[in-house]
């Protein structure tokens, strides 16, 4: 049986999107990720931990059996003693040293219960997948649908306007701004393409907030007409469906942006509404994606 991807965006690279600072100066000052491979020894749903007999983690620790907190505690029901897993170890550092590590991006590569079927399996986007016609409210207070962009090449990503981490939402928006400016240099290609930044914080990211944020990133501020780049958010009810389909996840309290953690997911969709490419991290280069967009636009 093949590997099983578990939980909200565990295949997509969930990472802390939180700033430093805080009461008493206890905020984190650095964040690192390491790769773990091991066997689950036990699980503790009440504590949100699993104990793993892990091989040596290069750059972090020698082989050791120890408990780990889960970045996504809700997936613990999908994990069982004896499961062989790979995972990312998330380690935040403060001024004193490393804080307690958390496990994320958990992949069960060998199931102790081979007949077990996960309760929730998130869709991992693949080339050729037909994208559902999700509805969103854009920066102009207008309801838009993904299907309305049929006939154009659509590049979409997920952000939230209060994200404080430069390598996450701000980086995605800066990348999109670079692509937008490059596409504008070729009128024929420009008319065959569209950009869409989708907020997963619909309660805060109202049309007014999205309009201000979008205008700042295009550099046209109040003069921006948003004809080529929309900023929009799904309803609270629609958001979980988008999370599942595009394999990204959000945790934390939306009233406190410093607690929000999320994965990254950028998707290139063809004129026929089918996925051309999926970028599940922040390491893609605008020039590479721009080339794919231009090729798809024909």
Banded model confidence at residue 277, pLDDT cuts 50, 70, 90? very high
Q: Return the minimum-mean-pLDDT range out of 42-51, 56-65, 85-94.
A: 85-94
CATH of domain 4-110: 2.40.50.320
CA distance 89 to 57: 9
The pLDDT value given to residue 118: 66
The more confidently predicted of residues 277 and 124 is: 277
Task: Kindly provide the residue ranges of all beta strands, DSSP E only, lying in 94-167, ordered along the sequence.
Answer: 102-110, 135-138, 143-145, 153-159
The residue assigned the tokens 């893609």 is: 284
User: For 124-181, how does the pLDDT look when each residue is reduced to its tens digit (9 = 90+)?
Assistant: 788 999 999 999 999 999 999 999 999 999 999 999 999 988 888 999 999 999 999 9
The answer to whether 115 touches 209, Cβ cutoff 8 Å, is no
Please, what is the average pLDDT of the chain? Answer: 87
CA distance 128 to 32: 34
Instruction: Name the DSSP class of 213.
Output: H
Question: Quick one: residue 62, left, alpha or beta (phi over 0 = left, psi -120 to 50 = alpha)?
Answer: beta
Is residue 169 within a helix (H) or strand (E), and if so which, with residue range? helix 169-183
Does the pLDDT at position 10 exceed 70? no
| Domain 135-297 is found in CATH 3.40.30.10 | yes
The more confidently predicted of residues 16 and 30 is: 30
- Please report, for the chain, the start and end positions of each structural domain, with discontinuous segments joined by +: 4-110, 135-297
Is residue 67 within a helix (H) or strand (E), and if so which, with residue range? strand 64-70
């Amino acid at each position: 049986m093949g590997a099983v991807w578990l939980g909200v965006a565990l295949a997509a690279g969930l990472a802390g999107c939180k700033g430093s600072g805080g009461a008493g100066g206890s905020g984190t000052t650095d964040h690192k990720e390491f790769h773990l491979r091991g066997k689950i020894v036990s699980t503790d749903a009440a504590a949100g931990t699993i104990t793993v007999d892990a091989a040596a983690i290069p750059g972090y620790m020698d082989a050791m059996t120890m408990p780990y907190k889960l970045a996504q505690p809700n997936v613990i029901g999908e994990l069982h003693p004896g499961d062989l897993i790979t995972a990312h170890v998330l380690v935040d550092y403060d001024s004193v040293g490393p804080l307690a590590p958390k496990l994320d991006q958990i992949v069960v590569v060998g199931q102790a219960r081979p007949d077990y079927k996960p309760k929730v399996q998130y869709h991992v986007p693949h080339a050729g997948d037909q994208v559902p016609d999700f509805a969103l409210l854009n920066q102009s207070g207008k309801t838009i649908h993904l299907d309305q962009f049929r006939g154009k090449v659509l590049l979409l990503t997920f952000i939230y306007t209060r994200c404080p981490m430069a390598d996450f939402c701000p980086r995605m928006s800066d990348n999109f701004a670079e692509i937008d400016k490059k596409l504008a240099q070729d009128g024929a290609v420009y008319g065959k393409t569209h950009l869409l930044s989708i907020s997963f914080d619909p309660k805060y990211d109202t049309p007014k907030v999205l309009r201000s944020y979008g205008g700042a990133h295009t550099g046209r501020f109040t003069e921006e007409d948003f004809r080529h780049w929309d900023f929009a958010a799904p309803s609270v009810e629609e958001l979980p469906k988008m999370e599942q389909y595009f394999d990204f996840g959000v945790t934390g309290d939306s009233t406190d942006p410093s607690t929000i953690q999320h994965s990254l997911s950028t998707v290139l969709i063809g004129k026929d509404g089918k996925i051309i490419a999926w970028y599940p991290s922040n390491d893609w280069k605008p020039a590479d994606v721009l080339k794919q967009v231009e090729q798809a636009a024909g």
